[in-house]
Amino acid sequence: MEIMVARYAGFCFGVERAIDIVKDAAKEYSSVVTFGPIIHNPQVVGELKDAGVATVKSLDEVSKDMSVVIRSHGIERKEAEFLIENAGNVVDAACPFVKKAQRAAARLSKSCDYIVILGESDHPEVKGIVSYIDIPYKVIESAEEVDALDYVEKYGFLAQTTQSISIFEKSAEKLKQKCSELSIARTICSATEKRQEAAIEVASKVEVMIVVGGKNSANTTRLYHLCKEICPHTYHIETVSELSVEMFQNISKVGLTAGASTPVYLLEKVREYILEVAR
């Protein structure tokens, strides 16, 4: 059996950076917590918890004796203001690409009549981005949703960092027909773009595709859906325990990829399992 691993898979720059920042903070301060899970990977969050870094889920839990680390996918403007006032220390581990999207939202908010964001409205990153918008806006999940929008003088358009490039471009084309002027902020991060392209390339050549990463991870779920469109036998798993021998029966080519919040060792365990099955 041949195993093809996507050229870009696993931890991205923003996730590695966030984990390094948490570990450094844990050395420097006592009582370090993250505000929300630092990344969307339950295994990594569990490891940090074992190392003494807990996760707080609401602002009510924050106190002056805590050093609070802002998660990789950012927080809302009011939450950041609250932490500065009420936490002992605030350590910002938000990914620079997420911060760029937040700044773009604030900028478009000053120059446009209405803003459209391609993303998942209930995702914490999107909640953070829209918190910087002071004018009417709408979060869309597909290009088709643009059809229902009214004509305005000037639309602003941006995306959650982990969205699909092709849906973004399709939505932008449709939005151009809905306004006199369209101001676009390209906020999909390069790590997402590279992982999507590499995953699609592998999925088009294999019979079974395995996508490893948190079920709560937007970028991993996006990889899964993109691969599933090309390779019907695509599975989204968090750990090797979700695999079974039956998945690989009579299969000669298997593809592997992992979301940007997935540590490489989890991907490696999956590869070892498949090699074992193939023996």
Answer yes or no whether residue 226 interacts with ligand SF4 by CB under 6 A. no
Indicate which single residue of 41, 102, 162, 196 sits in contact with ligand SF4 (rule: CB under 6 A): 162
Spatial separation of the C-alpha atoms in residues 142 and 263, rounded to whole Å: 30
Residue 125 annotated in active site: yes
CA dihedral 195, 215, 36, 73 (to 10 degrees): 20
Indicate which single residue of 191, 210, 227, 256 sits in contact with ligand SF4 (rule: CB under 6 A): 191
16, 125, 181, 201: which is the annotated catalytic residue? Answer: 125
Answer yes or no whether residue 255 interacts with ligand SF4 by CB under 6 A. no
Q: Which stretch binds ligand SF4 (CB under 6 A): 9-17, 30-38, 146-154, 175-183?
A: 9-17
Comparison of 91 and 206: residue with beta carbon closer to ligand SF4? 91
Size of the site for ligand SF4 (CB under 6 A): 15
Answer yes or no whether residue 189 interacts with ligand SF4 by CB under 6 A. yes
Q: What are phi and psi of 256, to 5 degrees?
A: -135, 135
Answer yes or no whether residue 6 interacts with ligand SF4 by CB under 6 A. no
Answer yes or no whether residue 15 interacts with ligand SF4 by CB under 6 A. yes
Report the nearest approach of ligand SF4 to the CB of residue 188 (Å). Answer: 8
Answer yes or no whether residue 12 interacts with ligand SF4 by CB under 6 A. yes
Contacting positions for ligand SF4 (CB under 6 A):
12-15, 72, 95, 97-98, 161-162, 189, 191-192, 219, 260
